[in-house]
Each structure stands twice: as C-alpha cells, then as structure tokens.
Structure 1
Amino acid sequence: MDPVIIVGAGPVGLTLALALARQQVPSIVLDEGVGKEEPRPARTVVLREDTTALLERLTGVALAEQGVRWAGWRSVRRKQVMSEITFAETGTAPLHIAQHVLTDLLRGAIAMEPLVETAVESRLDAIEQERSGITARTRGPKGTWWRGSYLVGCDGARSTVRKLQDIRFPGRTAVERYAVAALRTELPWEGHALLHRTPPWRSSGPSAGEVTARPLPDGVWRLDWLLPPGKELVTPEILLARIHETLTGWTDNATPVYELLDTGVHTVHHRLARRWRAGRVFLAGDAAHLLGALGTQGLDEGLRDADNLAWKLATAWHHGPHEALLDSYQTERRALVSARLRAADQALPVLRGGGGLRHIVPGAARNQDTLLTDGHLGRGPLGAPGTYADSPLAPPRLEGEIPVGTPPGAPVTDVRVTAEDGSFVRLRDRLGRGALLVVLIAPGTGVWDRKHWMSAGVMPRLAAAVAALPNPAELLVAESYPGAPAHSVLLVRPDGHLVTALSGVRPADLYAAAEATVGGAAQAGEAEQEEREGDGQEEKKAAAEAGSGTR
C-alpha cells in the first residue's frame, strides 16, 4: 500500500509519523518550512503524564532532561495561599518544555526512521480522493504530486487540508489573551509553578487579572499575564512595566536581576471542526480543535489525537479497510474535546466574571481555584486524560465482565508486567505497537522461573485463546492491578485504553471483545470477504476449543 501523507511538521504531525512507523506503516510528512524550528523560549508546552510517556516512547529520550518537571504547584489569591501541592517523585508532575526543543527531538527521531520521508518547502495545494487512494499536490521549489493511502491534516489552526475539504470550523475568537515573557532570573520558589490571582500590586477590577510563572531549564521562567477583554495593545513599555512590578511584588520590593529572552502575546481561541474525517482525509491537532483557556493545553489533545488515530490507520493499512474503526476516531476524539470545551466555556463566566460571586456563594473563591488548578495540572473535566466510555468500539455486555480500578474506556494504570520473552517491562512500554494487549493478573509470578512461565498454570489455555484472536495481540502477566482480582484478564487497546476486564480465561468473551475493538471484520472484496468469514468461524471454533474451561 501507499504511505500515509501527513500535512504539517509540528509536534502532532511528527508524533503521528513516528507512531505509524512504530507500527510498520510508512509516511510522508509535507513540511511548509525548511525543516528547522526557530528557537522561541516564550513558546512552551506543558505535557501531562500520558503525553510525556507517549513522546518518550517514540523518541527514546527522557524529556525531563530537556524540560522541567514541576516540583510543586502553588495558587495564591492576593496574599493568601489558596492551595499548595508538592509532587512526589512518581513521574506524575506536569512537564514544561520549550516547543522548539520538543520539535527538534521529534525531528531527530524522524531522521533515524527509514519509514518516514520528510519533504520540506512543500506547501499543500490540492487533494484528490478516489476509491483506491489519495493524491496530494504541493507547490514550492519541490512541488509535485504525492500518492498516499490516507492523508492527515496536522497543519494547524489555518489548516489548508480543512479548507480544501470545506469543513467548517465554528467557535469563539479571543476567549482569553495573555502577554508572555521568557526571562532568566531567580524566584523564591525554585522548580514550583505559581498561579497568582489578583496580585496586591495590581488595581482591583477586570484589569487586575492573574499572572502565572512556570519554570524552564537553566533558570528560565515563562510568565503569562492575563489581559483584560478587548484589544489592548501590549507595547514593549507596558510589558517591561509588568515584568518590573511582578518581580518586585514577588521579592518584597527588591527587584531581582533578570535577562529578558523572548516576549509575545498569546490569544486563546475555542473552535471545533464539524468533521474530523472526510473519506480518506483526517484532521488532528489544531486543524481539528482549538482550546487552551483556564490553563488547559491544546497540544496535549493533539498528541492524544495522534495516538488514537495511529493504531487505527495502522490496522486498516495492514489488514484492509476497517471503516467502523476509522470512523471511531472522530466519534471518540471529537466528543472528548467537545466536552473539554464545554467545561471551559461553562467555567469562564464564573472565573472571569468579577468578584461578586464570592459574596453570594460561600467558598466560591476556593472553588474557582480548584477549577483553575485542574486546568493547569491536567485534572478533572478541564484537563484529565479522556475516557471513551461511549465508544462505538466498546464490546456488548460480556458474561464474564468484571469491574476493576479502571473503568472501560479509560487509560490503564502503568504497572510492571512480564513479557512473553520473560523480561520485566512497564505496561506502558508495550503500547503503540499495533497489537492489542492481553494482561493476566497472577499474584506471585515475580518468583516464577521465567524460562518456563508460558507453560505454567492457565497460561497455555490463555496463550491459545490469544493466538486465535482476529487481530495481533501480545500476552503479558502482571502480579497485580488496581481493583483486579487474581486470575482476571484485561484487554487493552494499543493506545492504552481499557476495553474490558474478564473473570478468568474466557476465550469466547475475549474474542468478542477483541473483534469489537477493531470495529468488526475488515471490509474486502466479495470473494475475499467470504474467505475471511470462513477463516473467522475457524478462529472462533479454535478459541472455544482452547478454553473448554472458562476459568
């Protein structure tokens, strides 16, 4: 088959290319630029635990060495500390990194990947779809026609792909505006991020606003000042005055020495594309959605788009068209981002509507702080990784289904597992390979003789059931999993979301769940479809024979 065409060489497009390559799918990345990111210290991203793990898995780089994991979080209103959080050394702290650093890391990994071709100075000009594939035309010094199996627009808010497909992009403009500065200085809370609302050195009223300080490597901080509604022009003099008064206020009237590295104005828009799929064309990242008010992170959602779409494209690329599976990308991701936007839009009047609410609702200021903290830290409806509870890929109610600590559709907990070669690995390290994961919960397996563990206990029966599944799957064993009883079996999607948990080895249930997870059988020509249906009956029969005992 032809490669997947990816339009846009930002973090989302590069992540998608790497994710496809890990699943043995070639791609072509069309880059409008010259293949190099301009350093902008004031343009940074905050990554949550799940998206950090995704990028580290794809690049092989420990991102904490390139950015800063927050040691803690502090929220202050005027002079009162509203909340203070210290992050334990568990990897759950948000990671703050300059976007050009992240992009360069992804480009470095792409350069080592033979399945990814990058075409620089290639601006998309036209798209032509047909039954067997898709063709894209680019203009520029290297303008040409490109042939692909699918095309994904990761080309940002002004997406050419979206416009060529005539997809509407409704929403709200300038929901919030921030003046931004990156500077090197010393602040009293090393390694801690700070949200300061209504600082005492600012006058009261709508212009009092808030300021956020987030650490970067080498003593650099990014400061964001919320601007009042309207189109206030942020001149260099105004920005320098903000820097001076803020640093003076934080350091008890002794302005520390600082080096100003970069400035800018960041405007937050809230928009959601009507469609994320048009035949063989898909949208991801800012081309599909814009969000970012109240501390939420749009790039996080774009990376989750790439993770969700990659394994579905890989399945269709390797095993034939799976229309229901490909359709589920829009259904799952658009619904989740839409809910995130609704939550932010509902919270905005409460958080930005002035101070009157505090006199009406007791504790309202603290409730507001909780909402903002959730957005900044990636928690709650504003920021937590989403759950595909109503996914069209969810299996029907299964006889052997049981509840565990992770609800169906939610991201699984990262636990230590034993792989088929007997090695100990993290569950998260086995994601993104295109295979479903089947995890047996078996206490005490840590002391097994790993040379012979595949022949122990229920393993032979479970291994036979896994081998009979309609899609590739990897068998793993964990000593424990939150809320899971001994001998339960978890089925996990390639993007790390739980499909179901079963009470014991139940081959028929496992097969049904796996088949639902990939959207049913692949579509094919009539003769090929009949042959596959016959093979499917044989596989189901083999699965049933493999599990003559269900527990």
Structure 2
Amino acid sequence: MSSTVVIAGGGPTGLMLAGELGLMGVRAVVVEERAEPATVSQGMGMHGRTLEVFRQRGLLDEAGVARLPVWPRTPFAMMWLDVASAGPEDQTYAFPQWRTEALLEARARELGAEIRRGARVAGLADHGDGVSVRIATAGGEESLEAAYVVGCDGEFSAVRSAAGIDFPAEGDTYYGMIGDVPLSDPEAAFSNGRFPGGMFAVLPLQPGAVRFMTVEFERERPPAGTPATGDELLDAVERITGERPDVTPGWVSRYGNHTRLATQYRKGRVFVAGDAAHVLFVSGTQGLNAGIQDAVNLGWKLAAAVQGWAPEGLLDTYHAERHPVGARLARHARAQMRLLHPFDCVGDVRELFGEFLRYPAVHRFLLEQSTDDVYAMPAGDDELLGRRLPDAADLLRDGQGLLVDSTAEPLDVAAWSDRLRLVTASATPARRVLVRPDGIVAYVGTDDEETRAAVRTWFGEPAVAGVSA
C-alpha cells in the first residue's frame, strides 16, 4: 500500500490537513486547480476556536492573535448578537481567507507536503487496499497511487462525486454576490438591510474601499464556470434595493446554493471535508471554520492508519464525530433562512425572536451553536471529555498525544512513546487526563487499568520492542 495521502483542494481545509499529516510524518500531495495562490477572498472571519487550533500547532502565537481585529458584532439572520459577554473562544476575528491559505501553505510545504497547482482530480478507483487517482493538468493526465484520498475540493467536489457520496439539497436556495468597491467617500450612504427581494450589505474592508454583499432567495446562480462581473453584482443590488449604485466594482465573486450535508464523510478509503462535506448559509462564517476543525479531527487518524498503529474503528470516528457537527451547523443555517424568507411571512417570527434576544443566555447559546464542538466519548461524564484541553497549546505542537498525570504514581506509557507523551503535573483533584493529538480530551480518571484501556482505544497497541505495557 502506498503511504501517500492525496488531498483534492488547496483551500484552508486541504492545506490544514496536509500540514497535520506532515507534522506526523505522512506524505501529502495536494492537488489544486488554481494555478496561483489567492490574493483576495470571500471569507473574512475566523472563530476563536479555530485560533485555538492555530495556537496549538504554533501557527499563531498570543501576540499575533492579540493584533487581530475583533468583529464588534455577529449576525444571526441579520439580527445582531451581543458579543460583549462572549469569551475569546466565541469571538470572530478579522482574518481574510487568503491570508489563512498563505499561512497554511507555508506550513504544509515546510512539513514536506507537495502542492500541485494547475491540477485537478479527474477520477479515482478505490481498490480496498489503496486508491488510484487520476490527476489532470494542462499537459495531460497521470495516475497516482494513494493510501487514502480526501476531497477538500468544495461544493462541486469531484472526489465526493467519484466516490458516490450523496449530497442532498435541503431548504431554500439562494444566490449571492460579493464585490470589493473602491470608494473615496467612506461615509457614502447606501440602502442596505432586508428587502422583499433579498438582502444587501455594505461592509468596511480597508481605507478607501468597502465590500458589497448581496443575497437573493430562490434564485439560481449562473452555471459553474461563468465568470462573475461587476455588472452582475450591480444588477443584483438593483433588483434587491431598487437602486443602482454609481460605482465600479473591482474583484467580484459569487456564492450560494442550497444548504447541503454529505450523507457520509467516509466511504472506504475516500473521505470528504470542508465544503465538500457541508455547504452552509453564508451568515456566521461557518464554512471555513468548520473545515479547519474537520481537518484537525481527521489528520492524526489518517496518519495513525498509514503508520499502522490505528486501533480498530479509529477512522470511523471521523464521521461519528464530525457529521453531527455538520448536521448542527446545517440546522443553524436553515433556521436563519427561515427567519429571513419569505419576506412577507417572517415578520411575526422575527419580532418574537427579537424578544428572545433580550436574554443574554440566548445570545450565548447562538454563538456557541456556531463554534462549540463537543464530541461524545465512550465513557465518563467529566466536563472536560470531548472538548479541547484548555491551556495545553504549547504541549501539542509536535502532534503527539498527551497523558497529563497529576496522581502520586504517574502511569508508565513508555511503550507508546512514538505517539504519546507523559506530562506530570500538580493539580487538584489528582487525576489522569488523556489528550488526543487534536487536543481533544478522551479520558479522565485515576484507575490504572481504565487508563491503559483508554490509551489502547485511541492509540492502539504499544509498538516499542521490549517495553511492557
């Protein structure tokens, strides 16, 4: 079997996954259709919990995070949530997607990933013990053997289609445009908000420029591959507001469709992640952030399988853990659309929902719905289980798991030293906390045999010759 993992798509999800694999010594080949890196992008926001992952891998230190502007407010169906009481983990930070991609590509290359630009996955065949991948470039096609293939290639994923993974449409469809507009007068007034035909917003971008953003419900966007234009954006603004701004857009892009969720995140040796697994309504900046979390959850599990120490069923936990998150986010997206459209039918519901927003607990709940991922663990009810261990970022930079042991007799885990590190600590109450390579707490307890069983559940059988376990 080849030890290579092929990743279709060089956006944030694919590049994060390539870096995770490289950190753990597994070769990744990223196949990206764009010939050059992006220098502008639709995505502008990053959640605090995604920054936790970046700190965990040494991608951003505390000083770098401190310099990032914090969004002063976050929308839910164009009703503003109060973020004043939110912790840093539930804030949204201004961090453009193109900068995210540049950061992640540099790290992936540093860790040995191969980035093939101007290429795309044209087909694949899962043989059971490996996958043959057809890669198309301007010069023709070639075949590459891989241990696994991961589709991070977006809404119209060729990998998902080739694997036969269903991607059903749910809820209303919508069509949106984004465009960056040079503007000498930053105080220029535009009619923006909700309209019978959709939504229009003007967002600050940088000195001398703003971003126009439109949403039209139950309107199909042009076919894939049709170039987006400034006139297309201005036509949309005019349909929505009845006014055509006298501006000349620069960069423009389109987005939107139904909310979609893949029925399975794994099929044999083929996986999907990011927008290839879930397409969500634009509000709340969920797509990029969910994709990063997909990659971090999957990366160490694929590495374990390639390196031969993955316990039985480990790869299946990717779907078991991330698919419910995708389902929750899809429900969150559909709920927002139900509060926005049809325009003449949602007034009473919005008014009632506005009454709910008088309560700080409702704001907190809605913020956490976008960001707080908690995984079900096999046993136990400790509040740490299934969550990222707080204040452990510096301990996880090498990609190994941790056993944080504050008991009087720390457990010997030398037999797993190639994948698990013992960290002794002084804490009350005394206990053992098993942390997976992705930073998620998988076990909390004190019993020796229970701890060893948990280690085997997540880290497999020991591999160090001559060392007992």
- Check whether TM > 0.5: yes
Q: Distance in 2 between matches of 1:468 and 1:108?
A: 34
Give the direction of change, closer, same or farther, for the CA distance of 1:61–1:245 in structure 2 (3 Å limit): farther
Residue 133 of structure 2: aligned partner: 136
What amino acid maps onto 1:475 in structure 2? L
Shift of 1:55: 3.7
Deviations 1:339-377 (CA, angstroms, capped at 9, x unpaired)? 221233244323434476665797432437999x969x9
What amino acid maps onto 1:380 in structure 2? E
What amino acid maps onto 1:138 in structure 2? I
Give the direction of change, closer, same or farther, for the CA distance of 1:374–1:116 in structure 2 (3 Å limit): farther
Q: Alignment partner for residue 382 of structure 2, among 403, 408, 414?
A: 403
Residue 228 of structure 2: aligned partner: none
Unaligned stretches of 5+ residues in structure 2: 223-230
Give the direction of change, closer, same or farther, for the CA distance of 1:61–1:378 in structure 2 (3 Å limit): farther
Residue 394 of structure 2: aligned partner: 429
Q: Distance in 1 between matches of 2:122 and 2:283?
A: 36
Give the direction of change, closer, same or farther, for the CA distance of 1:155–1:486 in structure 2 (3 Å limit): same
What amino acid maps onto 1:317 in structure 2? V
Q: Distance in 2 between matches of 1:275 and 1:330?
A: 7
Shift of 1:208: 6.7
| SS, match of residue 487 in structure 1 | coil
Shift of 1:170: 0.9
Does 2:343 correspond to 1:345? no
Shift of 1:201: 4.9
Give the direction of change, closer, same or farther, for the CA distance of 1:178–1:492 in structure 2 (3 Å limit): same
TM-align CA RMSD: 4.3
Q: Distance in 2 between matches of 1:201 and 1:364?
A: 24
Give the direction of change, closer, same or farther, for the CA distance of 1:54–1:219 in structure 2 (3 Å limit): farther
What amino acid maps onto 1:497 in structure 2? I
What amino acid maps onto 2:443 in structure 1? T
Residue 121 of structure 2: aligned partner: 124
Q: How does 1:263-342 map to 2 (within 5 A)?
A: 263-320=252-309, 322-342=311-331
What amino acid maps onto 1:172 in structure 2? E
Shift of 1:511: 1.0
Q: Say which is worse superposed, 52-61 or 320-329, in terms of deviation.
A: 52-61
| SS, match of residue 73 in structure 2 | strand
Q: Alignment partner for residue 412 of structure 2, among 453, 460, 465?
A: 465
| SS, match of residue 45 in structure 2 | strand
Q: Distance in 2 between matches of 1:138 and 1:227?
A: 36
What amino acid maps onto 1:40 in structure 2? V
Residue 11 of structure 1: aligned partner: 12
| TM-score, structure 1 as length reference | 0.69
Residue 52 of structure 2: aligned partner: 53
Q: How does 1:30-429 map to 2 (within 5 A)?
A: 30-34=31-35, 36-41=36-41, 43-55=42-54, 58=57, 60-61=59-60, 68-70=68-70, 72-73=72-73, 84-86=82-84, 90=88, 93-113=91-111, 115-140=112-137, 141=139, 143-172=141-170, 175-183=173-181, 201=191, 206-207=196-197, 209=199, 211=201, 213=203, 215-216=204-205, 220-230=209-219, 235=232, 237-238=234-235, 260-320=249-309, 322-354=311-343, 359=348, 363-367=352-356, 379-381=367-369, 383-389=370-376, 394-396=377-379, 403-404=382-383, 406=384, 408-413=385-390, 415=391, 427-429=392-394
Shift of 1:329: 0.9
Q: Say which is worse superposed, 7-16 or 319-328, in terms of deviation.
A: 319-328
Give the direction of change, closer, same or farther, for the CA distance of 1:513–1:66 in structure 2 (3 Å limit): closer
Tell whether the 8 Å contact from 2:275 to 2:291 is kept in structure 1 after alignment: yes
Q: Distance in 2 between matches of 1:208 and 1:118?
A: 39
| SS, match of residue 331 in structure 1 | helix
Tell whether the 8 Å contact from 2:75 to 2:283 is kept in structure 1 after alignment: no
What amino acid maps onto 1:39 in structure 2? T
| SS, match of residue 143 in structure 1 | strand
Residue 194 of structure 1: aligned partner: none
Unaligned stretches of 5+ residues in structure 1: 189-198, 249-254, 416-426, 442-456, 523-531, 540-551
* Number of equivalences: 454
Residue 226 of structure 2: aligned partner: none
Q: Distance in 2 between matches of 1:69 and 1:22?
A: 29
Q: Distance in 2 between matches of 1:336 and 1:229?
A: 26
Q: Distance in 2 between matches of 1:59 and 1:142?
A: 39
Larger radius of gyration: 1
Residue 28 of structure 2: aligned partner: 27
- How high is the sequence identity, in percent, across the aligned residues? 23
| SS, match of residue 378 in structure 2 | coil
Q: Distance in 1 between matches of 2:416 and 2:295?
A: 25
Q: Distance in 1 between matches of 2:119 and 2:221?
A: 36
| SS, match of residue 290 in structure 2 | helix
Q: Distance in 2 between matches of 1:82 and 1:149?
A: 46
